[in-house]
Each structure stands twice: as structure tokens, then as C-alpha cells.
Amino acid sequence: MGLLLKVFMPLLGVALAFYFYSTPTTFNEEMLRGKRVVVTGASAGIGEQMAYHLARMEAHLLLTARTEAKLQKVVERCLELGAASASYVSGSMEDTTFAESVVKQAENSWGGLDMLILNHLGDSYFNYFDGDVKQVRKLLEINFLSFVAMTVSALPMLKESEGNIVVVSSVAGKTGSPFIVPYSATKFALDGFFSSLRQEFIIEKVNVSITLCILGYINTENTVRAVSHAMKDPPAPKEECALEIIKSGALRQRELYYPPWTVRRLVLLRSIIPEFVDSLVISSYKVENIRR
């Protein structure tokens, strides 16, 4: 065991160093000036904050979410902050026809697209899995199939512009997490689809980047309201998280981990010592506060 630790710990150190420092870090807001960007789930939380950051960078914005009244306010604020243009379309991503229509509106408005940020999310419970297959199917429609539908619709424009696809996912899509079983399943699906699609792009020399954003506990209103009673650690700020997502997409990074140390550690160790990672994940919850 002593010899094993002597070999394992240096290797772990090298792996961690590579994981943290191997990606480019130079970002300039000029990268987004005048870019045509679609942001989904933009009426609140991380999506809203991304819209504001992009507005300050003078991008053209098309925002979408379910709640029209909130979207109107976000668009107004984006124009005040300096967006080159800003508009919205409201609707539910349960309908893949609506998802495709959002991309069509971008094409009609701009004639092209530079960045597609897929950030929307279906409502899910935070509790022990109740066996409701219909809920799993509904979440797959919103959290996965609509992402696929929008990507397929946007690809011709993104290939022409050599643009970016940014997929907002979760650490629950890299390592299993209790109390969010249906949600976790959809996030694993995103990883499988977009990581595989990226490999095909490499083979076919398609110059469209795919950035998968692996997020931990973020202080969006909905998340804090749903899970704060069961979390031991404080949430990370949504404003900084939103900016890091935009940076990672512009820099064409493969994956973003935020908060970096917490999330990267879990993802890296999962393939080496999965039982230990399971214990870390479970220990991060106040399990006694979860009631069936």
C-alpha cells in the first residue's frame, strides 16, 4: 500500500496540474463584439447574467425562455448595457418545433449565427427518485432533445461562421448525485451526445467548437430555493459563472469546470476511485434534511 501511494500521489499531482493549466486563458471582450448569439433560458439565473455580459461586449442577442414578461425586461436591460441588438422569443422547449423555430428566427434576423448557448432547464424535484417515468421523459425532451434539435438546426450557420456551441451542463452529468436522478440522467445524455459529436467534427474537419460547461452549486434563485436546505457548502456566484461560460466558449475550450477546484476534483477522481467520490458527494448533503 505504501508503494502504491508513492506512485499514485505524484501521478495524481501531474494529472491535476495538467487538468488545471492546460487550457488557454487569454480572453478579450473584443472576441464577442458584433457576434450573433442565441442564449436559451435567458429570463433568469445564469442565462440572464450571460445576456448582460454579452450586452456589455456589444453582441447581437436573441434570447429565449418560457416567461415573456421577464424576457422583455432582460432585453430592455441588454439594450441599456450596449447590446448591438437584442430581441426575444418566448415558448417551451418541451416542443422541439419551438426549439427549431428559435434558430430559424436567428437566421431570419441575422442571416447567420456565431454562438449558440444552450442553457435552458426543465423543472425537476429535489428528493428521492419516486419512480415517475413520465417525469424522466419530460425532462429528456427539455434538457436533452431540444438541445439536439437546436444544434441540428443551427449547424449549417455555425459551420459557415466557424462558430461555437456552448452546452451548460452539470457535475451531475459526470458523476451520479442523489436526489436528482431524472435531472442527472439528462445531463449524462448531453455529455454523451456532444462529446461524440465533437469527435465527428474532428474527423470531418468541421471547425465548430463544442464547449461542455460542468457546473456545481450556483446561487441562482431557483437552485438556492430548491436545495439550500440540504447543502453544506455555499453556492458559487452566478455572475462570475456566467462570465466564465462565455469566456470558455469564445476560447473554444473543450470543457469548463466551475467552481474549478470542487468540480474538477470530482470529475478527475471519479475514474480513479469512484467509491471515494460517491462518499464525497453524499457527504456534501445534509441527508437528514431530505424527506421522502
- pLDDT tens digits along 53-94: 999 999 999 999 999 999 999 999 999 999 999 999 999 999
Whether the CB-CB separation of 28 and 95 falls below 8 Å is answered with no
Whether the pLDDT of residue 3 is over 60: the answer is no
Bridge partners of residue 128, in order along the sequence: none
Give the Cα separation of 86 and 52 in Å (integer). 11
Residue-wise DSSP of 90-155: E--TTSHHHHHHHHHHHHHHHSS-SEEEE--------SS----HHHHHHHHIIIIIHHHHHHHHHH
Burial label, 58 (beta-carbon count in 10 A; 0-12, 13-18, 19+): middle
DSSP state of 235: P
How many alpha carbons fall within 13 Å on the CB side of residue 249?
28
Closest by alpha carbon to 214, among 181, 236, 198, 233?
236
Half-sphere exposure for 58 (CA within 13 Å, toward CB): 6
Task: Calculate what percentage of the chain has a pLDDT beyond 90.
Answer: 75
Terminal Cα distance for the chain, rounded: 41
Task: State the DSSP string of 28-91.
Answer: -GGGGTT-EEEEESTTSHHHHHHHHHHHHTT-EEEEEES-HHHHHHHHHHHHHHT-SEEEEEE-
Q: How confident is the model at residue 230 (pLDDT cuts 50, 70, 90)?
A: confident
**What average pLDDT does range 2-30 have in this prediction?**
57
What local confidence, expressed as pLDDT, does residue 15 receive? Answer: 53
Strand-by-strand arrangement of the 115-118 sheet: 85-90, 60-65, 36-40, 115-118, 164-170, 209-215, 255-258
Task: Give, for 210, the enclosing helix (H) or strand (E).
Answer: strand 209-215
Burial environment of residue 103 by CB neighbours within 10 A (0 to 12, 13 to 18, 19 or more) = buried
DSSP letter (8 states) at residue 285: B
Is residue 246 a contact partner of residue 42, using CB atoms and an 8 Å limit?
A: no
- The pLDDT of residue 18 is above 70: no
Global pTM?
A: 0.89
Amino acid at 252: R
State the catalytic residues.
Answer: 183
Q: What band does 12 get if pLDDT is binned at 50, 70 and 90?
A: low
CB neighbour list of residue 39: distance below 8 Å, 6 or more residues apart: 47, 50, 51, 54, 61, 62, 63, 64, 117, 119
Element (DSSP H or E) covering residue 274:
helix 274-283
Indicate whether 218 pLDDT > 50. yes
Neighbours of 178 (CB within 10 A): 18
CATH architecture assignment, domain 28-289:
3-Layer(aba) Sandwich (3.40)
